[in-house]
Amino acid sequence: MNRSAELFPTRSALQEAHDRTKPWIQKTPVVTCAYFDEQTGANLYFKCENFQKTGSFKIRGVLNTVLGLDPAQTRHGLATFSSGNHARAVAYVASLHHLPSFIAMPATATKIKIAALKEYGAHLCYFNGKKGHREDVMARLLRKTDASFIHPYNAMDTIIGQSGVAKELIEEIFPPLDSIVVPVGGGGLLAGTALAAAHFSPKTVVFGAEPELADGAFVSFLAGRRIETDFAATIADGLRTNIGERNCAIMLKLTAGILQVAEDEIYQALLQVWHRMKIVVEPSAAVALAAVLRNPRLFQGKRIGILFSGGNLDLPLGNA
């Protein structure tokens, strides 16, 4: 495969990925909300991946990756680093295939995140915050287990898997959307969405949305190349990461820009979703709506798709 084909997978690659992952995932609902339509003067269509199996879209990329591997490659199990949604997806997909899963997670991970992973039978080991320690722990884990490493975002099968979210949204909504707005961290969902729009709804413009406190994609977009930035403890914990290389290349080529939002805007959008729509989204998932609320002029009178990426929260559960 040449470099350009690798960067920009074909329409049929996206179609095949969607077809093969479909039997294992939810076709999540698309919902509307009169209140937010009034607030924005736009028509908003919310794609609810918070109702997806494991509580986020991440299962799509993991499934697509694993279904594309030879069983010999995964017979020792699956491994990754992450304490959050990607780890859950890896652990769940491993359990579906009766494989062990190995997760390297920060020693500071919350009890409920740990409980969720154990529920899927994952084997956990911990790293501390020191530079390089995560990579050390991960490398040791891979040597010891021979498990197959599943990257959270910077891999084409992952990106293609995530494209299913926007593909389903595009197929459900007619007339076509003017824009789709997507939370961006590592950029798997953003890149997948940009590819889905390019292939299935070429007039639909894709924006990323990012916390000001973790602005790697924003800076990279403006610089026209991948730049790593420091990121602070944004409430949108799923977005505390820099954009991946492949993800960045697709972002630069196929998206219209990255919208920034402040912490309070994320928090207010989150609460308003709970309050008005009665559904639980996680802070990262509220980032795209926050960006639309912050930029009314950009979206007024338009038909906008908004991706609710997940619904996993650290609730104070007694038995978790």
List of residues contacting a copy of itself (CB under 8 A): 50-51, 55, 112, 264, 267-268, 271-272, 274-275, 277-281, 311, 313, 315-320
Rounded to the nearest angstrom, the gap between the alpha carbon of residue 119 and the centroid of all alpha carbons in its chain is 22
CA atoms within 13 A on the CB side of 51: 11
* AA identity, residue 157: D
State how beta strands 30-31 and 43-48 pair.
Answer: antiparallel
- Tell me the HSE value of 19 on the side-chain side, using a 13 A CA sphere: 6
**Please, what is the minimum distance in Å from the beta carbon of residue 86 to a copy of itself?**
18
Distant-in-sequence, close-in-space partners of 54: CB < 8 Å, separation ≥ 6: 85, 88, 89, 92
Q: Within a 13 Å sphere around the CA of 243, how many CA atoms are in the beta-carbon half?
A: 30
Rg for the chain, CA atoms, rounded: 18
Q: Compare residues 65 and 309 and give the one whose CB is closer to a copy of itself.
A: 309
Q: How far is the CB of 195 from a copy of itself (least distance, A)?
A: 27
Q: Is the CB of 57 or the CB of 81 nearer to a copy of itself?
A: 57
Rounded to the nearest whole angstrom, what is the least distance from the CB of residue 267 to a copy of itself in the complex? Answer: 8
**CA distance linking residue 77 with residue 61, whole number of Å:** 17
Q: How far is the CB of 75 from a copy of itself (least distance, A)?
A: 28
Query: Judged by CB, which is closer to a copy of itself: 74, or 272?
Result: 272
Please give the DSSP secondary-structure letter assigned to residue 225: S
In the bound complex, what is the minimum distance in angstroms from residue 35's beta carbon to a copy of itself? 9
The least CB distance from residue 88 to a copy of itself, in Å, is 13
- The whole-angstrom separation of Cα 93 and Cα 99 is 8
202 or 316, CB closer to a copy of itself?
316
- Cβ proximity to a copy of itself: between 11 and 41 the closer is 41
Indicate the burial class of 56 (C-beta count within 10 angstroms; 0-12, 13-18, 19 or more): buried
Nearer to a copy of itself, 216 or 311 (CB): 311
